[in-house]
Amino acid sequence: MKKGFIFDLDGVITDTAKYHFIAWRNLGAKIGVDVDLKFNEQLKGISRMDSLDRILAHGGKENDFTLEEKEALAAQKNDEYVTLLQSLTPADLLPGVKEFLDQANTKGVPCAIASASKNAPFILEKLGVKDQFAGIVDPATLHKGKPDPEIFIKAAELLNIKPEEAVGFEDAQAGIDGIKACHMFAVGVLSGEPLHGADVTCHELTELNMDELLQK
C-alpha cells in the first residue's frame, strides 16, 4: 500500500523543458556550442551547473572558462529562462495533473516535489498548485543530483514516509534511475524517448488509475 506521491516538475507537472532548451540553445550560440534537441535530452533532470558542464564538454570547451565565468554563464541562462517563465499560467499544467492532485488531496494522500530546479516554488506558484504539495525538496541542500536517489529519499522524508511507500513520477532516465535506486515505485511519463526500468509508463497522468497505484 502506497502512502504518498513524489513528482518531478519539468516534463511531469508542466512542459518547461522547451524553455530550458531555448535558453540553453541561445547561451550555446553565444559561446559557440550547438545545443540541438537530441543533445538537450541529456540535460533533462540535470542541475543548472551540471548542464552547463555537459554543454561545455559537448563543445570541447570544458577548459575554456573559470568557475566565476561559468557562474556568470549559468546566471545568464537562468535570466532568460525566468523571463520565459513569466507567461506561465494554470493552463500550462500538463493534461490530468490538476485532476490527479485534486484526487490525491481528497483521498488524503500527500504529494511532494523532487526537482533539481531552483525555480520550482516560483513555477508552482505561477501554475496555481503550490498549496497542493506538502513538501518541495530544496535542491540547494543536496550533495548529489539525479540519478543519485538522495532527492527522492528527502522528498519521502518530507512526507514522513519511507521511500518504498511512495510512488515517484519522472520523465527523465536520470530520475527513473534515482527512484529505483531507493526502491520506490516508478511511473515513467513518456515524451518521446523510452524510459528504462520504470514500473509503469504513461503519456499523461489521465491514463493512470490512482486506486491501482496506491495498491502497488
Q: Which residues of the shown chain bind ligand G6P in the complex (CB under 6 A)?
A: 10, 20, 43-48, 51, 78, 115-119
The reply on whether position 8 binds Mg ion by CB under 5 A is yes
All three cell numbers of 176, joined, read: 527513473
Tell me if 212 sits within 8 A of 202, measured CB to CB: no
Q: Is 8 annotated as a binding residue?
A: yes
Q: Which residues are catalytic?
A: 8, 10
Per-residue CA distances from 72 to 14, 113, 186 (Å): 27, 27, 36
The reply on whether position 171 binds Mg ion by CB under 5 A is yes
The distance of closest approach from Cβ of residue 44 to ligand G6P in the complex, given in angstroms and rounded to an integer, is: 5
Identity of residue 190: L
Q: Is 24 annotated as a binding residue?
A: yes
Residues 6 or more apart whose Cβ sits within 8 Å of residue 188: 170, 171, 176, 195, 198, 200, 201, 202
Pair type for strands 166-170 and 135-136: unpaired
Q: Is 44 annotated as a binding residue?
A: yes
All three cell numbers of 164, joined, read: 518504498
Q: Residue 171: name its binding partner from Mg ion, ligand G6P, none (Cβ under 5 to 8 Å by kind).
A: Mg ion
The reply on whether position 172 binds Mg ion by CB under 5 A is yes
The reply on whether position 11 binds Mg ion by CB under 5 A is yes
Q: Is 43 annotated as a binding residue?
A: yes
Binding site, by residue number, is 8-10, 24, 43-48, 51, 77, 115-119, 146, 170-171
User: Can you say which residues are annotated as belonging to the binding site for Mg(2+)?
Assistant: 8, 10, 170-171
